[in-house]
Amino acid sequence: MNLEIETKKTEQKLLFITGIGTEIGKTVCSAILTKYFKADYWKPLQSGDLHATDSMKIRDWVGDGVICHPETYRLQLAASPHQSALEEGVLITVNDFTLPETQNNLIVEGAGGLMVPLSDKEFIIDLIEKLQLPVALVVRNYLGCINHTLLSIMALQQRNLKLEYLILNGNFPPDTERVICNSIEEETKIIRITDIENITKENIERSTKQLTNLG
């Protein structure tokens, strides 16, 4: 019995953070989960904003002790990865990506949503499938978010990809939240993160302390 308990304690946590679209707070949610799980962080692909990358934000928000693994691709143009890569004469394929070697827990943050193209033929969802990681889907309230959420959940189900967490980032009308939460499987855990008006290390810490029993 003691051996079983010890095994559960040391089991590595691997998680791919994606969203129902862009600018919905994936990096903030990644920072909170990186801190909660005491995890490493990896952004496989950074497209634009090389002066202020998501990895840089994670270091600022989580703290100097966090390990941020190097991006596989750092592209100059702030656009869809397939367009940014084309500008630099690069062809991205999912086989270019390999999980960083670490004994720590690992949070992986994607670019945009599931159907963001890496090339004309491959998408972020193909990368998740290649890496074989469970998913945390970030949702934010806006007109159309129910449609985008349910389509994202359907896409994951069609690929037999595990939706481990549904992250409700910010406040939701009760009717919207009910429809979204009714669309997930029973084993999917719901994480609620309140709005952070001023994103600082201290406020990330405060939000992290509000999370409990995520496994």
Backbone phi, psi, residue 120, to 5°: -70, -15
* Contacts of residue 105, Cβ cutoff 8 Å, sequence gap at least 6: 12, 13, 14, 37, 38, 39, 40
Q: Is 26 a catalytic residue?
A: no
pLDDT of residue 46: 96
Distance CA 51, CA 82 (A): 20
Residue of 8, 43, 130, 162 with catalytic role: 43
pLDDT of residue 213: 84
| One pLDDT digit (tens) per residue for the chain, 215 residues | 444 444 444 689 999 999 999 999 999 999 999 999 999 999 999 999 899 999 999 999 998 799 999 999 999 999 999 999 999 999 999 999 999 999 999 999 999 999 999 999 999 999 999 999 999 999 999 999 999 999 999 999 999 999 999 999 999 999 999 999 999 999 999 999 999 989 999 999 999 999 988 87
Residue 25 token pair: 């707070």
If you search the block for the tokens 């939460």, which residue do you land on? 181
pLDDT of residue 101: 96
pLDDT of residue 10: 63
